[in-house]
Structure 1
Amino acid sequence: MVSYRVVPVVPLSLVKEEVVLVDPDVKLYDSVTAGRSGRDEDEAKFHVGQKVKLLEDIVNDGTYPHSTIGTLMMPKGSIGYIKTMGDFLQVIRVYEVHFFGTDMPIDAVGCREHELEAMEDYVDEMAEEIAFMKAHREKMQREREEREAQI
């Protein structure tokens, strides 16, 4: 059996639709994205393996599912190391910091740049290694040229 549905047809000239997305008198505020990238440097301020200290308490903002929002995740003054870094919403730089020896239920927390302070200067081991290799190659080239000049 075939069933039919009657759909009323209204001329488009009679259809008036008004869509209000946001009340212009309401101030929207989101603590996660409100200060987005305004506090972040253009280049990363910290690097993987660097020792850092928390400048403020980190509380659950809802991104950690196993505790209630507002629960203290890591106290101010905790010392940790940058494990990885990435971007949230492609505009907010977030560092995964691994904290050792704390009594907190977790040991890794996502932190923004303004929440961290460097405890030691970053040493780019790759740049040091490249500089060493370059100096070594130049030294070996000079020695080779001196030997060839003696022959």
Structure 2
Amino acid sequence: MGDISRDSDVIELEGPPQFDFGERVVSRYKVRNDGTYPGKDVGEVLVNKGDVGYVTSVGTFLQQFYIYAVEFVASGHRVGMRAREIVSLDKLPPHVVEALGDKAALLAHIKE
């Protein structure tokens, strides 16, 4: 692992995790293998932006960040994600639900 840097002064571990076990989340970014995912080439896409998954465990990284193991059902990949890389589909803020209007009900049916 080449250049690991602390890209934030925020210590997430001072508060509770943002996501819970079993929570439905969606990826905000395309994620490529950095060499830590076995059986895949470095640079190979593991998760696409918009892929839906479920939080399967919560760990820590660099004694600063929570890392969420997310099982992406469609691809079968379990990938470690930072909070900034995923968004909950189960706990949307009220202003987002309001902005979605009738479309908010459709989110309940998204599984993968």
TM-score, normalised by the number of residues in structure 1? 0.52
Distance 1:51 1:112 in 2: 15
Counterpart for residue 118 of structure 1:
88
Structure 1 runs of 4+ with >6 Å offset = none
Counterpart for residue 28 of structure 2:
55
Does 2:1 align with 1:33? no
Counterpart for residue 78 of structure 2:
108
Percent of aligned pairs sharing the same letter: 29
Distance 1:97 1:65 in 2: 16
* Deviation (angstroms), 1:37: 6.1
Secondary structure at the counterpart of residue 97 of structure 1: strand
Secondary structure at the counterpart of residue 40 of structure 2: coil
Deviations 1:104-136 (A, max 9, x none): xx42111010000010129xxxxxxxxxxxxxx
Matched ranges for 1:1-151 at <5 A: 30=3, 32-36=4-8, 38=10, 40=12, 42-102=15-75, 106-121=76-91
Tell me the C-alpha RMSD between the 2 structures. 2.4
Aligned length: 90
The higher relative CO (CA closer than 8 Å, separation ≥ 6) is in: 2
Structure 2: tracts of 5 or more residues without a match: 93-112
Structure 1: tracts of 5 or more residues without a match: 1-28, 123-151
Distance 2:74 2:34 in 1: 23
The verdict on how the C-alpha distance between 1:37 and 1:63 changes in structure 2, with shifts beyond 3 A counting, is: farther
Structure with the larger strand share = 2
The verdict on how the C-alpha distance between 1:44 and 1:94 changes in structure 2, with shifts beyond 3 A counting, is: same
The one-letter code matched in structure 2 to 1:38 is V
TM-score, normalised by the number of residues in structure 2? 0.68
Secondary structure at the counterpart of residue 114 of structure 1: helix
